Amino acid sequence: MFGFMDAFLKNDSFSLQKDILDHVEYTVARSRFIFDDFEAYQGLSYSVRDRLIERWHDTHRYFKKKDPKRLYFLSLEFLMGRSLSNSVINLGIRDQYADALNQLGFEFEVVAEQEGDAALGNGGLARLCACQMDSLATLDYPAWGYGLRYQYGLFRQIILDGFQLEEPDYWLNFGNPWEIERVHVSYPVKFYGTVEEEGIQGQTIKVWIPGETVEAVAYDNPIPGYGTRNAINLRLWAAKPSDQYDMESYNTGDYINAIMDRQKAETISNVLYPDDRSYQGKELRLKQHYFFVSASLQDIIRRFRDDHNNFDEFPEKVALQINDTHPSLAIAEVMRVLVDEEHLDWSRAWDITSRVFSFTTHTVHVEALEKIPVDLLGNLLPRHLQIIYEINYKFMEELKSMIGQDYDRLSRMSIVEEGAVKSIRMANLSIVCCQIVNGVSKVHLDLLKERVFKDFYELWPQKFQYKTNGVTQRRWVVVSNPNLSSLISKWLGTESWIRNVDLLAGLRQHVSDPDLQREWKMVKKVNKARLAEYIETLSGIKVSLDAMFDVQIKRIHEYKRQLLNILGIIHRYDCIKNMETSDRRKVVPRVCIIGGKAAPGYDIAKKIIKLCHVVAEKINNDADIGDLLKLVFIPDYNVSVAELVIPGSDLSQHLSTAGHEASGTGSMKFLMNGCLLLATADGAIVEIMEEVGADNMFLFGAKVNEVPALREKGASLKAPLQFLRVVRMVRDGYFGFKDYFKSLCDTLEDGKDFYLLGYDFASYLEAQAAADRTFVDPEKWIHMSILSTAGSGKFSSDKTIEEYAKHTWGIEPCKCPF
């Protein structure tokens, strides 16, 4: 008899080999007798995809049968990185695949290296979503991710003569085995036009007569959980021309131009905006937002309607998470559907809408909050603008009844900002509508309450919560640091920590065991060797494995203070140069590694990259210095570079001026990998201190509550002499490019040093000296390193997701049986 389970694909080595070869031959269309590493990657990936699809189908059939409340996670950005290793590990068949590949004459690691990164996001916010998707799948939550399928992901960073250049990331060039195109899942998305009034059953209703239609086509990306059969979906939308245009095209008589016009529709999902600093009112960007929101909501509502016909049940069955304000047009869109299409009265529609949405903000920077010019919105989405005005009118009335005629406060809280460019404040819209507004760390919530959203907090304190960010230990330890992963499992006597991260704390009881310490050190050494090899291939620089590998990798921003790091390196260089040769023996050798992209229009950030290169050039070629100090800039930092660099680092730096980093998640990845942190007490670092103990880290700098008063002091806040000296070296052209660096040095002058590099410099150097002292005591260092990993459990995205599920979304696990 052919049983149900027999229908599943088999995972023995022979079946896997056959599947890989079949895909090489029939999907990739290469001969099964001659194919290269890349074709092996393709064949392998398609065979993994088949297995993902099986689980995906079962999971969705099961969700449909059980009809639990579902979470829909809306984000304009997801930084997924590579999928192959993560997928086979989560499916529990990595070793079987490695063996099958071996039999075919290939090596798993080499084949996995063929995959490019899916970089559909800028930085922290986008990678967080990727980690959270992994946790949602692993913890069996009935969740969907929705995003945009950009054809061009985040630009590739090229370094030419030390300057950053941007190249397009046409990541789909070589195909993408991880997605499934759903030609039949598509929705029309409308733009422009006018709003008219119509009478229906004695009532006047508003009717939007759109002027342009674009089709949104779904591409599904299965996300497998670890240790479960569940595989959830990340559905990304691509824009295609709509058929509804055809008649018009024929009528114009200009066939070729009509086709070209239709083609323009595709530009909507063409490119990811690479600036994560401030929102510029660009029509294309707004179009992207609405395109994404409209398609996702049509899909969500269609699914809801399959089993329900009363929208009062909507909040019981649906949770909509808006990731930052970028998807917040969804609020107006749900209102439009309920009022205009479902003909619910306004207050019933508002009651439903305000119970489905929750909102997480990822910044403390007021200038990064989205503001959409009213003219732009009114032209592109006239009905939505009316709805937002109506929401605001009702909110203002309610507010007046609560706080009276305090016009300053009313205007601060208004969704509509008056001024030279009248705009819609999307954060205000989101706060007014959502029952829960989340920050991403404890400190972030404090800042939201005291500064960014103070007025709202005073009005609705109960709305404001925080869920400390987390990262997935599956990707950041199991996939990227397999040696450490095996070591942890060996010492804990179980692999269960991969799902139950609290178990990591069990390492504490072995922290003084010399065997663990030796093995721990060995793992680090192997990872450092791998990183050193990578550095040599990239830059030709040979680095010593005995040196401390000191790393700062993240987007380049003034507030993240890569400049402080570089000035510290110049200081170190200067000290070594001025030392007696005999004293140089006492210097702790360092390899300083910096990596990160600057937004293409961010001039100062680009200068910081150039400064790093000229300083590196000088130091690395100075025969006096040798192995005592090296500086390496790693170009084109992305998720897979992080996977290589993090396991191989000893120390990592998180230098944001206190009060500027909402959370920070890079620090958590280093922590899990046993790298020590040198950091300011900012964002989630404050909570990391609570978990691993301040004496297991190197902390420095002004505290969050000290920063405003320090800024008040302005020019009277004098920087220390060492600081003035290194800045002067740059200013005077010691590293060349004197004129070019002038504006960068100007940002550090007394009274202009907004990010307080001068003020924090002395304590930064002290923290660096403490790191040096500790490094020469390897036993102490390893001790701190083990305790870092042991204390990292709280920063797993599993924890974050459980909190969201319980306190924000109200969803329960729905585990698909085998």
Active site residues: 362, 554-555, 560, 665, 669
Strand partners, 143: 71
SS3 242: coil
* Count of H-run helices and E-run strands, the chain: 32, 24
Sole residue written with tokens 């989101």: 430
Query: Among 20, 48, 88, 128, which residue sits at the site for ligand 26V (rule: CB under 6 A)?
Result: 128
139: Cβ contacts below 8 Å, ≥ 6 apart: 225, 798, 801, 802, 805, 813
Among 157, 663, 797, 808, binds ligand 26V (CB under 6 A): 663
Q: Of residues 43, 81, 124, 373, which one binds ligand 26V by CB under 6 A?
A: 124
Binding mask 262-301 for ligand 26V (x = CB under 6 A): -----------x-xx-xx----------------------
Tell whether residue 445 is a contact of ligand 26V (CB under 6 A). no
Does position 793 bind ligand 26V by CB under 6 A? no
Stretch 349-368: interaction string toward ligand 26V, x if CB under 6 A: -------------xx----x
Least distance CB 279 / ligand 26V (angstroms): 4
Which residue number, 222 or 701, has a Cβ lying nearer to ligand 26V?
Answer: 701
* Site for ligand 26V contains 373 (CB under 6 A): no
Task: List, in order, residues 6 or more apart from 300 with CB less than 8 Å away.
Answer: 72, 144, 318, 320
Closest to ligand 26V by CB, 108 vs 755, is 755
What is 471-523 written as a DSSP string?
B-HIIIIIIT-HHHHHHHHHHHT-SGGGT-GGGGGGGGGGTT-HHHHHHHHHH
- Closest contact distance (angstroms) between CB of 373 and ligand 26V is 14
Query: Is residue 344 part of the contact set for ligand 26V (CB under 6 A)?
Result: no
Going by DSSP bridges, is the β-strand pair 212-224/180-191 parallel, antiparallel, or unpaired? antiparallel
Which pair of structure tokens corresponds to residue 721? 């002499």
Closest separation in Å from C-beta 368 to ligand 26V: 4
Q: Is 122 in the site for ligand 26V (CB under 6 A)?
A: yes
Site string for ligand 26V, 209-238 (x = CB under 6 A): ------------------------------
Q: Please, what sign has the CA dihedral across residues 407, 408, 412, 417?
A: positive
Find where tokens 């500027």 sit. 660
DSSP 154-168: EEEEEEETTEEEEEE
Nearest-CB residue to ligand 26V?
124
Q: Can you tell me the distance from the alpha carbon of 222 to that of 51, in angstroms, rounded to the nearest whole number?
A: 10
User: Applying CB under 6 A, which of residues 115, 661, 772, 798 lies at the interface with ligand 26V?
Assistant: 661
Closest distance of CB 438 from ligand 26V, Å? 10
- Based on CB atoms, which residue is closest to ligand 26V, 275 or 750? 275
297 vs 315: CA distance, rounded Å? 14
Which residue stretch of 124-132, 394-402, 712-720, 755-763 sits at the interface with ligand 26V (rule: CB under 6 A)?
A: 124-132
Does 134 engage in binding with ligand 26V (CB under 6 A)?
no
Q: How far is the CB of 559 from ligand 26V (least distance, A)?
A: 9
- By CB under 6 A, how many residues form the interface with ligand 26V? 22
The residue from 145, 595, 664, 701 that contacts ligand 26V (CB under 6 A) is 664
Beta strands in 242-339 (DSSP E): 318-323
Cβ proximity to ligand 26V: between 242 and 656 the closer is 656
Structure tokens at 700: 């420095």
Calpha distance 380→385 (Å, rounded): 9
Considering only 665, 673, 680, 785, the residue that binds ligand 26V (CB under 6 A) is 665
Task: For residue 362, give every residue at least 6 positions away whose Cβ sits within 8 Å of its Cβ, in sequence order, or none.
Answer: 124, 125, 128, 323, 324, 440, 662, 663
Which residues lie near ligand 26V (CB under 6 A)?
122-125, 128, 273, 275-276, 278-279, 362-363, 368, 370, 440, 469, 661-665, 683
